[in-house]
Structure 1
Amino acid sequence: MHSAIASEATQRAVRAAYFVSDSTGITAETLGNALLANFPGFAFQKHTIPFVDTPQGAANVVRDITHDAAAGFAPVVFTTTKDAAVSAVLASAPATIIDLLGGHLTELELALGTSASEQLGQFHRLGDATQYFARMRAVEYAIEHDDGQSDRALDIADVIIIAPSRCGKTPTTMYLALQYGLLVANYPLTDDDFPTEGLPLLVGKYASRCFGITTTPLRLSQVRHERRPDSRYSSLAQCTLELRRAEDLYRRNRVPFLNSSTKSVEEMSAVILQTLKLRP
């Protein structure tokens, strides 16, 4: 169970991290990971456990936590459970328990002059149906327009991401679509698009909506090598050439761009939203 991170133990202290929720676990995982990222000196063995909405379910989690504690992994538990009985069981675990909702809910209750709803999973319910279906439409749009597959309805795109292959276009496109409901297309820059002064014909009319992505030649070569090892496509020389051409193209056409090598999809999306002044 712990073999995957055993090799790190000699260099970094290994701890168990649990993200426990009465709903999907996404909130606990997101907030918990954001906190853990501030402690790079540790290696965390992570467990996301959703739908813990009964004391019995919580007791099962406590059993696993106890096992890790006995093994010396000193668990840290991030919870977003609202039921008092469930929280009480989790609090009995031999671990550091971090309630990601508790104090903040109390503060909001005082500020708003009312008690929080006891219904589970409020954050991840369907909610506003119009917004939900807009996001689903955005995902369909992103799939249709992935890697320049279609030029249909490009005129309604909120963003067109352009970059050489394997720079991170698709994950960023899907994140913007699913998280914000934006209509995002992406276009791969290939040898056929050069030499050229202007943007490729397919996206040239929409330059004001274009955003470029670049990376480092070494990083791009490593990523491509996983897909096509020992090929011209993954060679450092080819990656260096493609990135240089792409960045020159961005600058000539005043297309804003960023380097994806040290940024998460969330960070990249935030930069795109801010740069293009998009209001999701």
Structure 2
Amino acid sequence: MPNRSVFFVSDGTGIAAETFGNSVLAQFDVQPHRIRLPFVDTVEKAVHAVERINEVERAEGKPPIVFVTLVHPDVLDIIQGARALVLDMFNSFVQPLEVAFGAKSNHRIGRFSDAAYSPQYHNRIDAINFSLMHDDGQSTRNLTEAEVILVGVSRCGKTPTSLYLAMQHGVRAANYPLIPDDFERMRLPDGLNGLRHKLFGLSITPERLSEIRTERRPNSRYAALDNCRYEVSEAEKLMRREGIRWLSSTHKSIEEIATTILQQIRPDRLEY
């Protein structure tokens, strides 16, 4: 689908429209040009948005695709007049839900409008700070407060996974590297004593690990394929010996890894 643009138009941040729209687009083998237009909450802004959408339609010769999450009917009416395929996500779902619940929706603008007053929001901020403080084993202070501690060799995906768990689910996730000293002793780092029930391991294929490390330190022993094979093999042996649940991050997204961890360690966090 060359030269096809997709707009995400919202009277809030546009994150909900973009997240849903990208999930739908992922079902197709396409690479469209994505444009987010947030805070389109007045008639004047809607007119400017339509002008931009129509300008793209003229330039590309094809109607853009527009995902919208708009509450005000007058703003929505203007956007629906654009020369585009307009997919109204709210009306597609809100109206049937009003019938199902037997109640009218509150037409609230923006999923995050009063986030700062939400306990869940503050829990998420605390979890992010905790994960940053306990990244890569840099601190063992208050490590007992962790809900999950990711272990594995350097560059196998521990940091992005722990931050995703904190940001999206408010989980206090720490991560701790397994290094050659641990393999020689064939035991977990001393900082993890008594915390085995909170551990979850990540592994990766040596070939992929070598590629990632080469980007960071090219032509180094750290990135050499034989060294990566050694570290991965020893780390997996150690995790098996210690009875640590683990998975390979090689072909999994951060979202898939995080969901698997939650299913096994904190399934309650999948309910809210």
TM-score, normalization by structure 2: 0.91
Distance 1:253 1:48 in 2: 47
1:143 to 129, 132, 138: 132
Distance 1:110 1:31 in 2: 22
- Give % identity: 41
Counterpart residue number, 1:57: 45
2:33 to 28, 45, 63: 45
Corresponding pairs, count = 268
Do structure 1's residue 75 and structure 2's residue 82 form an aligned pair? no
| Offset of residue 71 of structure 1 | 2.5
Change (3 A) 1:74 1:226: farther
Counterpart residue number, 1:165: 154
Change (3 A) 1:262 1:100: farther
Distance 2:49 2:179 in 1: 50
Q: Kindly provide the amino acid, as one letter, of the partner of residue 223 in structure 2.
A: S
| Offset of residue 278 of structure 1 | 3.5
Q: Kindly provide the amino acid, as one letter, of the partner of residue 252 in structure 1.
A: R
Which structure 1 residue ranges, 4+ long, deviate > 6 Å from structure 2?
A: none
Q: Cα deviations across residues 228-266 of structure 1 (Å, max 9, x unaligned)?
A: 222222222222222222222222212111222222221
Distance 1:247 1:93 in 2: 56
Distance 2:37 2:221 in 1: 44
Do structure 1's residue 272 and structure 2's residue 239 form an aligned pair? no
Counterpart residue number, 1:194: 183
Q: Cα deviations across residues 124-160 of structure 1 (Å, max 9, x unaligned)?
A: 5327632222221111111110110111111121000
Contact 1:24 1:124 in 2 (8 A): no
Q: Cα deviations across residues 61-86 of structure 1 (Å, max 9, x unaligned)?
A: 22222222223254211111111111
Contact 1:161 1:212 in 2 (8 A): yes
Contact 1:199 1:207 in 2 (8 A): no
Counterpart residue number, 1:215: 204
Q: Cα deviations across residues 158-203 of structure 1 (Å, max 9, x unaligned)?
A: 0000121111111111111122211111011222222233322211
SS class of match (1:19): strand
Matches within 5 A, 1:13-24: 13-24=2-13
| Offset of residue 123 of structure 1 | 4.7
Distance 2:130 2:175 in 1: 11
Q: RMSD across aligned C-alpha pairs, in angstroms?
A: 1.8
Distance 2:34 2:106 in 1: 29
